[in-house]
Amino acid sequence: MHSLALAILLSLHSPLFAASPEYKVVGPLTQHFQDWLKSNGYTEDFVRADHKVTQGSYGGKTSDAQNVTRTPVIMIHGNSDAALRQTFGFNSFAGWENTIDYFLQQGYTSAELYATSWGDTNQMKAEMRRHDCKTVQFLRRFMEAVKAYTGSEKVHIIAHSMGVTLGRKITLGGKIQATDGNCDIGVPYRYVDVFVGISGANYGLCNCAGMVGDFEPTCSKDDGFWPGDSCGMNKNDCGASKLPYPCNGPDKYSKFLSDLNADMSQLAQRVFSAWSNADDLIMHHTNTWGKSTCLMPRSTDTKSKEKTYEDQYKWVNRLD
């Protein structure tokens, strides 16, 4: 697929779209959390004030007196999105605006809801983003910071699109061989209670098949979404609804995804794989060499329908 076409597809992929004339949720991280981060040696830019000043992050206590009574929820956005909505109009992402707004209406506080932006929001650079060391280490540190700051025994993770595979890696830990170098994310993170993965490309994207994997960074055969070019005797029909020969996934695909899926560690106590069969980026009814690429290995629950922030609330609160 041509880079421009792929970028447009990636940039349009958001189930959190909103066209409200004003922000429903405004960040960034509270000053209380910012002060704690600084005093505890965190030098990463989790605030992301470069994203419309207030919209690059969310979460934190308003004072020492505020208690954390619910398991904190960490939200990881997808490619070209951000923690909160940046702009208005037809082709605008809402980030986690709708989810956070709904959770607040159900009694959550900013001390229990967290998000930071990784990468930039330039939609025309969507094809440039990979599962690189810099991004994964940044998100791992954020997850660790939230747990330490809140003092909670567990955290929940809600992730969307590329955030799913990034979120799985920061949880499972281990090594990465990426274009920005080799790194070790650390030991498996055993403190995730519920992991919700919405429309992730866990076995790659059929749009990245063929020679695209050699030229588009986000389709990289090393740390991108290359889905492989065959599955047994099946050739060149990655997204077919029914393959002519028996097949249970690609023979060979992105090294990052292969290593991730080969890790037999349990991601969380409860793992939700959620997707829509009419997904505008993944396409092909989410089929990738005979299986849904949105289905995370070792999921405990699957939901194949349009997803909303109400569903996300039910899942992390074990109401569904």
| Number of neighbours of residue 199 by Cβ within 10 angstroms | 26
On average, the pLDDT of the chain sits at 88
> Terminal CA-to-CA distance of the chain, rounded, Å?
39
Lowest-pLDDT choice from 30-39, 213-222, 272-281, 309-318: 272-281
Arithmetic mean of pLDDT, 203-210? 91
| Number of neighbours of residue 222 by Cβ within 10 angstroms | 17
Q: Which pair of structure tokens corresponds to residue 317? A: 């609160």
- Tell me what pLDDT residue 21 has: 53
Arithmetic mean of pLDDT, 78-102? 84
- Tell me what pLDDT residue 184 has: 95
- Tell me what pLDDT residue 306 has: 60
Strand partners, 231: 234
- Tell me what pLDDT residue 127 has: 85
Query: Is 70 exceeded by the pLDDT of residue 295?
Result: yes
Instruction: Name the DSSP letter for residue 59.
Output: B
Q: What is the pLDDT of residues 23-37, one digit of tens each?
A: 899 999 999 999 999
Lowest-pLDDT choice from 11-25, 37-51, 55-69, 169-183: 11-25
**161 class by beta-carbon count within 10 Å (0-12 exposed, 13-18 middle, 19+ buried):** buried
Sorting pLDDT into bands at 50, 70 and 90, what band is 181?
confident
- Tell me what pLDDT residue 242 has: 87
Query: Is 70 exceeded by the pLDDT of residue 3?
Result: no
Lowest-pLDDT choice from 31-35, 180-184, 208-212, 217-221: 208-212
- Tell me what pLDDT residue 108 has: 98
Most confident of 33-37, 214-218, 300-304: 33-37
Provide the strand spans (E) within the chain.
Answer: 57-58, 73-76, 113-116, 155-160, 175-178, 181-184, 192-198, 230-231, 234-235, 270-275, 287-288, 291-292, 301-304
At residue 204's C-alpha, the angle toward residues 198 and 207, to 5°, is 105
Query: Is 90 exceeded by the pLDDT of residue 224?
Result: yes
Predicted TM-score (pTM) of this structure: 0.91
Say what angle helices 309-316 and 97-105 make with each other, to 10 degrees: 60
- pLDDT, greater one: 156 or 279: 156
% of the chain surpassing 70 pLDDT: 90
Arithmetic mean of pLDDT, 61-87? 94
- pLDDT, greater one: 157 or 22: 157
* CB neighbour list of residue 186: distance below 8 Å, 6 or more residues apart: 140, 173
Sorting pLDDT into bands at 50, 70 and 90, what band is 17?
very low
Query: Is 80 exceeded by the pLDDT of residue 66?
Result: yes
- Tell me what pLDDT residue 136 has: 97
- Tell me what pLDDT residue 91 has: 53
Sorting pLDDT into bands at 50, 70 and 90, what band is 68?
very high
Query: Is 80 exceeded by the pLDDT of residue 152?
Result: yes
